[in-house]
Structure 1
């Protein structure tokens, strides 16, 4: 009898140790190390929360190692997901709608909304004392590829402002845009940071207007994965979301010096002062939020822009639940 009681007590003690260990680790799966093949649309300070999460070790804290690749376009980032060469991509959320309407074997799901405004800035070749949208009439603008978020935001703004006779060049690859402008092409150019400030600080372009401030709220960039990947790896999606959210929260309180140091490895050759300038511009226009849940209003704005730009028929609009799964963003744990 005494032997039985001793054995029972030992078993109970062992069980308590296991339970306490589990309780001490709220995200038990984070102990399972995983490599995530990650594709970003372009390299830009517009995505600072992601780089902050990498530099501050937030992905490592969640047990994730990132295999980082730059796609140079949302279309390429979406294609990488479908081909299986990427697990998660940072792309324009419209990519999920396009893929859904193709009714193929694979579909994409948006699970985290990173940016809340367009991140591009319109620069002019010559200084303009007080920019007006009518200044673009009869001019050439070096812009982004057709169907991309920055291209559609610019076009919708031109329509809203009633500006006509603008030649928007959309066939120059994004890495070559700045070089084309500095070599003499175009009267205006639409660029993201830090490339925009690089040209301005070099005296090769002049700041005209922020597209984000001009257009207003717009869900420009989201984290997306295939429905299959999310179903098979919900813990990875949650841990990934937690890490990015930690990066976004860190940006809200970190000093400019700390932010510049965190982002510097991702922007070699870019000065500390230029990184800080870029960050301050994005903060000023409310680019990032600590709430990464895409709302129905944001999704409606997205589809309205797609219809206005002729890349989506009104009758082909989709339900938000068809292409987005926000439960992971709603359950973020940044502790």
Structure 2
């Protein structure tokens, strides 16, 4: 066999080997690319969350901003309503899968045969307040006056109704309830259009700046016990219809997993850091304004999203006292903490 043939054979073999290696690499590269593409094309589960936007729901907005829902395979869209009961009606009408609001409308709906499940609590206590104009220093002075208490059926409305009764007034006859947006009540109080207003605690400093008198201070523990029956009152909640929870437990778990991450981040970072993340969710608010609000309400943020038996009893009893409920509901019929417990 001549040397030229041997040399040609070696070259051919080397060429064949090189082509095999190249083909193998190409196949591997193709498999990896296809795998990456499949991961990128993995379908996210979209959920709509109806809400009456407020500082109470910061953990959910943080989870959205920091990508915690995306990590869980959830794509969240928020539907913002002018009041909690309206947002809740939107959920039961099929416009959303979850709703963030106060617990009272959920109680009322259950009493009327509309079943929901409360799957998380975003606060540990209620910080509602009631402020009077410069001339109003006592509840009894509100007879014949105009007050703002939010929409009928809402948690603020029930709270103010209870306060008026406690002050010796008949809310149905002795006062006129003004209807307006929550953000307009402070200006109305300052201008004298109304004589007293419901007050979120995180707006306390703003009410103080216009010279309002604090008729009820929701941050005072003795006041809490007197009005609500307990310091614990986990009233800012996330709910879904019973049907959705029963049929989509994996989606509920993934959503609550994201919220739990948001709650953990919220309770372990500074007011300034929290304000920075929440800026896109509060149009018109400056960073300084948000820092002030967070500093006033952070004592109520829930670290574990749970509803205690004591807190539930206080919420149920308060709803019975204010006429939101006609009959007891029972913790196990409306509260579902298994997703929160799994998230922990």
Say yes or no: does 1:187 pair with 2:198: no
More displaced stretch, 217-226 vs 164-173: 164-173
Aligned to 2:282: 267
Distance 1:68 1:245 in 2: 18
Distance 2:105 2:272 in 1: 35
Say yes or no: does 1:331 pair with 2:342: yes
Aligned to 1:47: 57
TM-score normalised according to structure 1 size: 0.76
- Shift in alpha-carbon separation, 1:235–1:226, aligned structure 2, 3 A: same
Aligned to 2:218: 211
Compute the displacement of 1:95 (Å). Answer: 2.6
Structure 2 gap ranges (5+): 1-41, 225-230
Compute the displacement of 1:137 (Å). Answer: 6.7
Compute the displacement of 1:170 (Å). Answer: 5.1
Corresponding pairs, count: 292
Identify which of 107, 117, 122 aligns with 1:109: 117
- Shift in alpha-carbon separation, 1:119–1:43, aligned structure 2, 3 A: farther
Compute the displacement of 1:52 (Å). Answer: 1.7
TM-score normalised according to structure 2 size: 0.74
Identify which of 258, 264, 267 aligns with 1:249: 264
- Shift in alpha-carbon separation, 1:46–1:193, aligned structure 2, 3 A: farther
Contact 1:62–1:239, Cα closer than 8 Å, also in 2:
yes
DSSP-derived class of the 1:222 partner: strand
Identify which of 79, 93, 100 aligns with 2:110: 100
Say yes or no: does 1:147 pair with 2:147: no
Say yes or no: does 1:292 pair with 2:305: yes
Structure 1 gap ranges (5+): 1-30
Contact 1:118–1:150, Cα closer than 8 Å, also in 2:
no
- Shift in alpha-carbon separation, 1:273–1:168, aligned structure 2, 3 A: farther
Aligned to 2:34: none
Compute the displacement of 1:67 (Å). Answer: 1.1
Identify which of 35, 42, 45 aligns with 1:34: 45
Contact 1:46–1:119, Cα closer than 8 Å, also in 2:
no
- Shift in alpha-carbon separation, 1:170–1:222, aligned structure 2, 3 A: farther
Contact 1:36–1:66, Cα closer than 8 Å, also in 2:
yes
Distance 1:121 1:153 in 2: 9
Say yes or no: does 1:79 pair with 2:94: no
The structure number with the bigger radius of gyration is 2
